[in-house]
Amino acid sequence: MKLGLIGLGRMGMNMAKRLIKHGHEVVCYDSDLKKTEEIKKEGAIGVGSVEELIDKLASPRIVWLMLPFGDPTEDTIKKLSGFLEPGDVLINGANDHYRNDIRRKEELNVKGIHYMDVGVSGGVWGFKFGYNLMVGGEKEDFDYIEPLLKALAPEGGYLHCGPCGAGHFVKMVHNAVMYGIMEAYAEGFEVLKASSYSNYFTLEDVAHLWNNGSVIRSWLLELLESAFAKDPELEGIQGYVEDSGEARWMVKEAVDLGVSVTGIAHALFKRFESRQEDVFSNKVIAALRKEFGGHRVYRKGERVRKEGAGAGQVETAKPDIHIELP
């Protein structure tokens, strides 16, 4: 099949390469023309504009977007809606909120443009192992693009999840679950590192051990083993963790559905705290402890935080030396 692919980032570039490898003809565009030149070396047809990409495709066209969430995706869809014709299929493969997909489908239906949403998982390893594809849209459109899905995914790695929005809804839950799994691993390995037994094994050894016969073995654990092999104490990185939005969306969705998602919510909130120098809510607690119990507070500039794993043992509350008793 022939398709246009817009967005040659970490995911889009390798997806284009995998499609070419499986015999599909891919017309590629990226605002960074160096990336377009790079994919041309792999056998793609590189173009310098969205208009040129449309001109290279015959109706019914297939255009697949792999762009960042927000304005880049929104603006490109608006631009494409002026060039695409009735019967053309527009696929949004980037992370996005499923409600945006439902809105876009209604807007594009007026012009006869078929809109689909595909949640794509696989990260930088997708070219080698294949991508997991969660597809939302009309069944007829799913059947039409299925040869592309087969090329991108490993066996059993794609699913028609339902009407428009279903693909990104399932991907939202997928990513939120991943937050919870990673947080559980992180907490477990910190307990191991903080324990007195940590002198008898390496964290890499434990990750390797658990990936052989354990019920918690996983690909994420394989990647963690690799990370520990490169930096056993993770001394070269900061514990600064971004979130890309999906877990926030899922927690809000869970509230509306009346579903308890405490593990995922905790994992999300831990990421928020990781990005703050000194969490304000902790200051509130410290101030309250001083006010009601005369407990010590530590002033700005005092080095009191523990480095490494764990906060240490329970200690007797210390009196604040500056307090004025009532």
Q: pLDDT of 187-238, one tens digit each? A: 999 999 999 999 999 999 999 999 999 999 999 999 999 999 999 999 999 9
Rounded CA-CA distance 168/101 in Å is 8
Residues forming beta bridges with residue 4, ordered by sequence position: 27, 63
User: Which is the CATH superfamily of the domain at 2-163?
Assistant: NAD(P)-binding Rossmann-like Domain (3.40.50.720)
Split at pLDDT 50, 70, 90, the class of 309 is confident
Alpha helices (H) in 82-134, listed in sequence order: 98-109, 126-129
**pLDDT at residue 148 in the model:** 98
Please say whether the beta carbons of 188 and 139 come within 8 A.
Answer: no
Residues whose CB is less than 8 angstroms from the CB of residue 54 and which lie 6 or more positions away in sequence, other chains included: 4, 61, 63, 80, 83, 84
Query: In which residue ranges of the chain is CATH 3.40.50.720 found?
Result: 2-163
Token pair 């880049």 in the structure block, residue:
72
- Which residue type, as a one-letter code, is found at position 185? Y
Rounded CA-CA distance 268/159 in Å is 27
Q: What share of the chain is helix, strand, coil (3-state, %, to 5)?
A: 50, 10, 40
Token pair 């969430």 in the structure block, residue:
69
Q: pLDDT of 1-44, one tens digit each? A: 999 999 999 999 999 999 999 999 999 999 999 999 999 999 99
- For residue 112, count CB atoms less than 10 angstroms from its CB and return exposed for 0-12, middle for 13-18, buried for 19 or more: exposed
- pLDDT greater than 90 at residue 300: no
H and E: helices and strands count for the chain: 13, 8
**pLDDT at residue 151 in the model:** 97
- Which residue type, as a one-letter code, is found at position 229? A
Query: In which residue ranges of the chain is CATH 1.10.1040.10 found?
Result: 172-274
Could you tell me the fold of the domain covering 172-274?
A: N-(1-d-carboxylethyl)-l-norvaline Dehydrogenase; domain 2 (1.10.1040)
Split at pLDDT 50, 70, 90, the class of 70 is very high
Buried b (16+ CB within 10 A) or exposed e, 304-320: eeeeeeeeeeeeeeeeb
Peptide bond into 60 cis (omega under 30): yes
Computed over every residue of the chain, the mean pLDDT equals 93
**pLDDT at residue 315 in the model:** 67
For 217, what's the count of Cα atoms within 13 Å in the CB-facing half-sphere? 8
Vertex 324 angle, CA 318 and 326, to 5°: 110
Quote the pTM value.
Answer: 0.90
Q: pLDDT of 117-162, one tens digit each? A: 999 999 888 999 999 999 999 999 999 999 999 999 999 999 999 9
Lowest mean pLDDT segment, chosen from 169-173, 231-235, 318-322: 318-322
**pLDDT at residue 324 in the model:** 61
Residues whose CB is less than 8 angstroms from the CB of residue 236 and which lie 6 or more positions away in sequence, other chains included: none
Rounded CA-CA distance 110/95 in Å is 24
The answer to whether the Cα torsion of 88, 143, 4, 132 is positive or negative is: positive
Split at pLDDT 50, 70, 90, the class of 240 is very high
Q: How many residues does the chain have?
A: 326
